[in-house]
């Protein structure tokens, strides 16, 4: 098959400019990951196999897999193979890092105390944020996260009722709501807003905050399949919590050998 044929038989008969073949390949693989056909740590077809099964050249298969690597979907090991990235790595792209993981990384103990877990009619403002009609039912969870028995975060989360139908059966003591949602389906979009605010009496009591101490409030909205599925308000005591991030542009030699794991700002730390 000549280069001309490759183009011709590929898509020259189609109406508008078709997607490039490497892009089609990428989307096909992303789709297999999203659908659960390929699960984390599963082996992804090798370049050679993709050449055989899809008819593209190896360079094209290579580009698709390389870009999926850059985008965090898969991990490649020379001489071994290509594998679906671990959930932990993938969720970093979209999550303010799971608070339980963060606490564990600091070598501390995480514990959650669920105060409220029910389905209930949604307030108008939150109905708007979740694109559901006002007054319809949504799942709601209200809990406190502890680090070594010190309260560090109050989580007030609303989840659309059709997205997670066994939401109310969860325990949420060990698996945080955020981690649970990541298990159900890979989150595809996230929006964050960070504010400084004085807490109400209830939040202040739950977080054992001093009288004049402000809260760092993070509100997060996450999308799956172009629909908002969850809205959360995360309250943190200003004296005991901060969000940090570091950014270094890509394509530059490592300038900070001393601190090895530099995270991007979208991976909130600490």
Residues contributing to the site for DNA (CB under 7 A): 1-8, 10, 12, 17, 20-23, 44, 46-49, 55-60, 62-63, 65-66, 69, 76-82
Number of other residues whose CB lies within 10 A of the CB of residue 261: 7
List the one residue out of 236, 265, 262, 257 whose CA is nearest residue 103.
Answer: 236
Instruction: Say if CB 212 and CB 247 are below 8 A apart.
Output: no
Cross-strand pairs, 220:
192, 232
Tell me which of 87, 129, 168, 243 binds a copy of itself, using CB under 8 A. 243
d(C-alpha 230, C-alpha 234), whole Å: 13
266 binds, among DNA, a copy of itself, none (CB under 5 to 8 A by kind): a copy of itself
d(C-alpha 82, C-alpha 69), whole Å: 9
Tokens of 170: 């969860």
List the one residue out of 80, 75, 212, 232 whose CA is nearest residue 145.
Answer: 232
Give min distance, CB of 60 to a copy of itself, in A: 11
d(C-alpha 115, C-alpha 133), whole Å: 26
Name the one range near a copy of itself by CB under 8 A: 41-49, 119-127, 148-156, 195-203. Answer: 195-203
Tell me which of 2, 166, 252, 260 binds a copy of itself, using CB under 8 A. 252
If one asks whether residue 150 binds a copy of itself (CB under 8 A), the answer comes out as no
CB-nearer residue toward a copy of itself: 118 or 242: 242
If one asks whether residue 196 binds a copy of itself (CB under 8 A), the answer comes out as yes
Site residues (vs a copy of itself, CB under 8 A): 26-27, 30, 59, 67-68, 70-73, 93-94, 188-198, 212-217, 223, 225-226, 236, 238, 242-253, 255-256, 262, 264-266
């Amino acid at each position: 098959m000549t280069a001309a044929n490759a183009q011709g038989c590929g898509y020259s008969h189609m109406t508008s400019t078709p997607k490039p073949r490497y892009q089609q390949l990428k989307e096909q693989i992303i789709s297999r990951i999203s659908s659960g056909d390929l699960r984390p740590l599963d082996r992804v077809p090798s370049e050679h196999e993709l050449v055989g099964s899809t008819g593209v050249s190896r360079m094209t298969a290579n580009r698709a897999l390389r870009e999926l690597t850059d985008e965090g979907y898969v991990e490649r090991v020379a001489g071994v193979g290509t594998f679906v990235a671990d959930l932990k790595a993938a969720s970093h792209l979209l999550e303010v890092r799971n608070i339980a993981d963060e606490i564990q990384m600091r070598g501390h103990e995480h514990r959650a105390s669920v105060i409220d877990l029910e389905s209930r009619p949604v307030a108008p403002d939150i109905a708007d944020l979740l694109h559901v009609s006002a007054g319809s039912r949504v799942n709601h969870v209200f809990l406190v996260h502890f680090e070594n028995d010190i309260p560090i975060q109050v989580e007030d989360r609303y989840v659309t009722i059709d997205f997670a139908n066994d939401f109310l059966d969860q325990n949420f003591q060990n698996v945080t709501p955020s981690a649970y949602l990541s298990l159900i389906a890979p989150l595809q979009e996230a929006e964050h807003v960070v504010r400084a605010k004085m807490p109400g009496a209830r939040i202040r009591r739950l977080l054992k905050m001093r009288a004049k101490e402000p809260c760092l409030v993070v509100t997060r909205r996450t999308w799956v399949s172009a629909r908002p599925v969850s809205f959360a308000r995360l309250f943190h005591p200003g004296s005991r919590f901060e969000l940090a991030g570091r950014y270094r542009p890509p394509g530059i030699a490592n300038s900070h050998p001393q601190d090895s794991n530099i995270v991007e700002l979208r991976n909130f730390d600490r």
